[in-house]
Structure 1
């Protein structure tokens, strides 16, 4: 687990105010100005896992050439270059798999200075592939960031600083050190593509638990009103819903919950047959996905899709890494991990014990 032993003034999540992202570091280091991003919007959550499961579940994999053409269109990144093997945790139980999902504000994976990863999820796929456990790590979680091969890091900081300082490889190192869980694969998803994916589905159904105003809106005035109750959202609305955090006392904790809602809604909508049975919709859906996803060089979406062909929304379990709430370390507004509880969650991940993951994460 992370070395985050500094004294911090803690606030429970239920009382936490909005968290300012601040600088992505814990002290003197600062990120260089960001390169001009290839995509305007930030990335978000587990669209990769959702998409390959849906395509397989609908029998699309049966037309192997079609799916292989999709696989070849997806961008590949060097996720593990420079990650010292001797520092890595042992592989998880035989047959299980852990995929790290990153949502970030730059598509330039070779030069990510100044970029931050807004969404971090460890997706555990048990040996039998009958379910998936998605564990979100709040982006402001205070951890130890190892030193990158370029010499950056080597200090305590918010976990999303790792991406700014060393790209995907340093993010892998940081998450592995924090969780003591080996990351087998990495997937990155573009936020703008998230909008297109939802639109390709014809919108998704979301239960809004409280009325609020989003200030991250794609509307001309930058605002969107959400009313309590069940709503059908198009891509722009779903994107606003998943991005907003300043409207809530719990800040990033509520945003994580909303992201999880949207993931499940996407999976449920596409698995209903309305997309998979409609060639035009399916083609739009697949193109939007291929343009939005980047994965590590060794991940075969063809193989993974076959393994996940029975996965549906009801088989996904969403958790948030246990925390003690928010606090202040120096000038940083941070999230303080509950190291004991988090350790029990990730111990269960290493053992591939689905029941224990759920029990420890409560």
Structure 2
């Protein structure tokens, strides 16, 4: 830990010379980013920020300094926010009894994964949530194997953050420039340092897995333990109006699991940010405790740590209500429960839903999915239906102007399968150029054996149309939209893209259920 820097004094009153009161602390609090106003003098903030723990991530992408979003040397950046559900940091016997023994549950999974996009020119920010159960190829050499839910990428020892960074970039095409990670204990300490968070509960709710139990309705104060239980709740049960069974285990269960949890987490984030802004600015004692609780429990890459004050100067005006929250749409239908692939069992998984995923990502960060024309495209059929499906998709891709060769046949890994757009490692833009033309359960995958400049489409069962056909089929329906950074809109119109469950899946914007908690009214 570096020595504290001396307090810099100017003029007769040192407290009149302050750095911007709203200091950006880009961190994950198990739910999302905390953009808080601390009101601290420069010397204190500098010495405190100096104690932030760092860890190098070798697979971070270089931020585009020449981007139209850049301003005064500060490039646009995507910051991965990891809520790590590892128990390894737990030492309190009560917490170990409640959350699990760190000796028995020593692995790491990203209970929450969000990406914060910062646009310096427009001084805007937007948050994109990635469903933890999204089934995806794992980076080469992953300890969990070649496939898994995307949250499993973190379970790679000390290389976990790097592995998750690679999975998001390689599979979704989203470059990650920085990351921040926080665990169970850090989240609870952060909430408690603020004196708790006030949330409004329209109905009683209960989750036996996360240990959530809210048995009174209305606006109420929740502290670290219940706050953690709320943001982790994926098996939530609720007490509907007119029905009041005495046994919470008999209450109906929220059918959307992690997807509903993400929406609730966004609502909790709003309440957390509002509380941090108000208490952090008006009560220096609370601000000091909050910053200490936060900083002592987070890990970030050294590059982000070196930028904190520069980010503070540019984004210090941001308030909780000005940050759009989006979620990548997925198919989480019953056909994907107890999923098996290539001989492995993966439990209940989500599939991607193109082109809705593409539209959500572009609404979050316009232009982030950069494409480059491949030299050659080959479609191979992995459905077990022979060459006919591959021939149909080959003809459609040729119609859209791509250089497509003779179709072939691939190994059938599952009766229900995603389509993988395979590209030579490091050539994501070529893969994206082909992915953009496909609809259905489609995802990128780097494969070392694919020649440079070539893209292979390993056709799965849940894809049936390509770009121009999909555009014309959905053009007659007016989309509903949600604002994104830079004024873009997130399209939520269902498309004709096939899904194993036969339904369109979740939308990219939040839709609260009647029983979901929300911030208390001012």
Q: TM-score, normalised by structure 2?
A: 0.53
Within 5 Å, which residues of 2 pair with 1:160-179? 160-165=151-156, 166-179=159-172
Matched, 1:341 2:356: yes
User: Paired residue for 1:67, among 42, 45, 66?
Assistant: 45
Superposed CA RMSD = 2.9
Query: Matches of 1:202 and 1:175 in 2, distance apart?
Result: 35
Could you tell me whether the CA contact under 8 Å between 2:39 and 2:284 is conserved in 1? no
| 1:44 counterpart residue number | 30
| 1:254 counterpart residue number | 260
Query: Matches of 2:122 and 2:180 in 1, distance apart?
Result: 18
Q: Cα distance 1:343–1:106, how it changes in 2: closer, same or farther (>3 A)?
A: same
Q: Which has the higher contact order (CA 8 A, sep 6+)?
A: 1
User: Paired residue for 1:156, among 147, 165, 182?
Assistant: 147
- Larger % of helix: which? 1
Cα deviations by residue, 1:302-334 (Å, 9 ceiling, x for unpaired): 222222211111112111111122423213210
Could you tell me whether the CA contact under 8 Å between 1:90 and 1:182 is conserved in 2? no
Matched, 1:319 2:305: no
Within 5 Å, which residues of 2 pair with 1:232-247? 232-247=221-236
Offset of 1:90 from its aligned partner? 7.2
Offset of 1:156 from its aligned partner? 2.9
Matched, 1:288 2:268: no
Cα deviations by residue, 1:15-53 (Å, 9 ceiling, x for unpaired): xxxxxxxxxxxxxxxxxxxxxxxxxxx97132xx41xx3
Query: Matches of 1:43 and 1:78 in 2, distance apart?
Result: 20
User: Paired residue for 2:313, among 286, 306, 314?
Assistant: 306
Query: Matches of 1:212 and 1:167 in 2, distance apart?
Result: 33
Query: Matches of 2:223 and 2:208 in 1, distance apart?
Result: 17
Offset of 1:278 from its aligned partner? 1.9
Could you tell me whether the CA contact under 8 Å between 1:345 and 1:356 is conserved in 2? no
Offset of 1:275 from its aligned partner? 3.2
Query: Matches of 1:84 and 1:200 in 2, distance apart?
Result: 32
Offset of 1:226 from its aligned partner? 4.3
Q: Which has the larger radius of gyration?
A: 2
Query: Matches of 1:74 and 1:89 in 2, distance apart?
Result: 22
Could you tell me whether the CA contact under 8 Å between 1:130 and 1:308 is conserved in 2? yes
Greater Cα shift, 227-236 or 304-313: 227-236
User: Paired residue for 2:83, among 90, 103, 127?
Assistant: 103
Within 5 Å, which residues of 2 pair with 1:1-362? 44-46=30-32, 49-50=33-34, 53-55=35-37, 58-60=38-40, 63-79=41-57, 81=58, 83=59, 93-94=69-70, 95-106=75-86, 114-128=107-121, 130-148=123-141, 152=143, 155-165=146-156, 166-216=159-209, 222=211, 224-247=213-236, 248-272=254-278, 274-299=279-304, 300-326=307-333, 327-328=336-337, 329-330=339-340, 331=345, 332-348=347-363, 349-351=365-367, 354-359=486-491, 361-362=508-509
Could you tell me whether the CA contact under 8 Å between 1:74 and 1:291 is conserved in 2? yes
SS, match of residue 214 in structure 2? strand
Q: TM-score, normalised by structure 1?
A: 0.74
Offset of 1:130 from its aligned partner? 3.4
Tell me how many residue pairs correspond in the alignment.
300
